[in-house]
C-alpha cells in the first residue's frame, strides 16, 4: 500500500509559463494566485505566466512564485480528489524555500504569510552579499565527505593568513553536492575538485551564495520576521532541511527556518529518513521535476510522481 510524502521544489525549478494552464483550468488554482498577488501587491501571477524570465528569476520573485504554484497544485488536488492533505500524506518536505511551501501546505502558515515571508527572504538573501562577491558550484560525483575535504583545502587564501567561506550548501544525493561561499574560494574549490576525481565541477548561474555563513544578515532578518508571523502546528510533520527529522513544534520549526538560511540543505538524509519512516511514494507538487529525480537516486525503490500541470492532475489523483 502506498505511503506518500508530499515534497516541494526549491529555486531553480521556476520557468516562464509556470501555473498558467493550471489557472486557466481550475478556479482553485486561480484563487491561490490571486491571493498571493493581493498579498504582495504585485502581479506575480502575470510574471509567472508571461515572464520576462530575467524578472522571474530575481530571487525575491522566484521564491513566492514557486510557493504559489505548489500550493495551487495542492488546492486543485484536494478539491478534485475530495480529500485533505492529512488524509493522504504521512509527512511533507521541501528543498530550501520549498520548506515554506511544505509548511503552508500543512497549515503551519497560511498562504499570505508564506508569500510575505518568502518575498522578504528573497530580498534579504539578495542583499546579504554584494554582487559578485559570492558564488556557488556543483560537484557531480562527490559525496559529502569529499565535498567537505575540498572545501577545507579551498578555504585558506594563498600567501595570506586569511580564510574565506566555502561550505557545502546542498547535499542533494546521488553524488551531487553544491558548495557556496566567497567566489574566489569557490573557484579554488572547483580546481581542487578536478584533482580529486570529481566527475564534474562547475560554477552555477546564481545571484547569491545561498546556504552558507555569508547569509548571516539574511538569517537575522528572517528571525525577526518569523518571530512576528503566526504559526500553527502542521497537520502532518515536516521533515526539516536542517535536522533531516520529523518536526511539528511551531517554535522549533521557526528556529530551524532561521538556521536553514545559513545551513546545509540535507536533502539526501531527509529523503532517506522519509523512506525509513515507511514512505514509498514521493509526490512533487509545483514547477518541474527536480526533486523527483533526486529522490529516485536516493530511494530507487520508491515511486515518484510530479504534478504541475492539468495533465498531471489526473495521473496523481489515480496514484492517491
Answer yes or no: 69 catalytic. no
What does each of the 320 residues of the chain score in pLDDT, given as a tens digit?
A: 899 999 999 999 999 999 999 999 999 999 999 999 999 999 999 999 999 999 999 999 999 999 999 999 999 999 999 999 999 999 999 999 999 999 999 999 999 999 999 999 999 999 999 989 999 999 999 999 999 999 999 999 999 999 999 999 999 999 999 999 999 999 999 999 999 999 999 999 888 999 999 999 999 999 999 999 989 999 999 999 999 999 999 999 999 999 999 999 999 999 999 999 999 999 999 999 999 999 999 999 999 999 999 999 999 999 99
In this structure, CATH architecture of domain 134-206: 2-Layer Sandwich (3.30)
Q: Which of 13, 45, 70, 96 is catalytic?
A: 96
What are the start and end residues of each CATH 3.40.366.10 domain in the chain?
Answer: 4-128+214-319
Answer yes or no: 211 catalytic. yes
What are the start and end residues of each CATH 3.30.70.250 domain in the chain?
Answer: 134-206
CATH homologous superfamily, domain 4-128+214-319: Malonyl-Coenzyme A Acyl Carrier Protein, domain 2 (3.40.366.10)
β-bridge mates for residue 202, sequence order: 138
Q: Which of 211, 243, 270, 287 is catalytic?
A: 211
Amino acid at each position: 500500500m502506498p505511503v506518500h510524502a508530499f515534497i516541494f521544489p526549491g529555486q531553480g525549478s521556476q520557468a516562464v509559463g509556470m501555473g498558467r494552464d493550471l489557472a486557466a483550468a481550475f478556479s482553485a488554482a486561480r484563487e491561490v494566485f490571486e491571493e498571493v498577488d493581493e498579498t504582495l501587491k504585485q502581479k506575480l501571477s502575470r510574471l509567472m505566466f508571461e515572464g520576462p524570465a530575467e524578472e522571474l528569476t530575481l530571487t525575491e520573485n522566484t521564491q513566492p512564485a514557486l510557493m504559489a504554484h505548489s500550493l495551487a497544485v495542492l488546492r486543485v488536488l484536494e478539491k478534485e480528489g475530495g480529500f485533505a492533505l492529512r488524509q493522504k500524506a504521512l509527512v511533507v518536505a521541501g528543498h530550501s524555500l520549498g520548506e515554506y511551501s511544505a509548511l503552508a501546505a500543512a497549515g503551519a502558515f497560511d498562504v499570505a504569510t508564506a508569500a510575505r515571508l518568502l518575498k522578504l527572504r528573497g530580498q534579504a538573501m539578495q542583499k546579504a552579499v554584494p554582487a559578485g562577491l559570492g558564488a556557488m558550484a556543483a560537484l557531480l560525483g562527490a559525496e559529502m565527505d569529499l565535498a567537505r575535504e575540498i572545501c577545507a583545502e579551498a578555504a585558506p587564501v594563498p600567501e595570506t593568513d586569511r580564510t574565506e567561506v566555502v561550505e557545502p550548501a546542498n547535499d542533494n544525493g546521488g553524488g551531487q553536492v553544491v558548495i557556496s561561499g566567497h567566489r574566489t574560494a569557490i573557484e579554488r574549490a572547483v580546481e581542487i575538485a578536478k584533482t580529486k576525481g570529481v566527475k564534474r565541477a562547475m560554477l552555477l548561474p546564481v545571484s547569491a551564495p545561498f546556504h552558507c555563513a555569508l547569509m548571516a544578515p539574511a538569517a537575522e532578518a528572517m528571525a525577526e520576521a518569523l518571530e512576528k508571523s503566526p504559526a500553527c502546528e502542521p497537520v502532518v510533520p515536516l521533515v526539516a532541511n536542517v535536522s533531516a527529522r520529523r518536526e511539528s513544534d511551531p517554535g522549533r520549526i521557526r528556529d530551524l527556518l532561521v538556521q536553514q538560511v545559513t545551513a546545509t540543505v540535507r536533502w539526501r538524509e531527509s529523503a532517506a529518513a522519509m523512506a525509513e519512516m515507511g514512505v514509498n511514494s514521493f509526490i512533487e507538487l509545483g514547477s518541474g521535476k527536480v526533486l523527483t529525480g533526486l529522490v529516485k537516486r536516493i530511494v530507487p525503490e520508491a515511486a515518484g510522481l510530479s504534478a504541475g500541470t492539468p495533465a498531471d492532475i489526473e495521473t496523481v489523483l489515480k496514484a492517491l
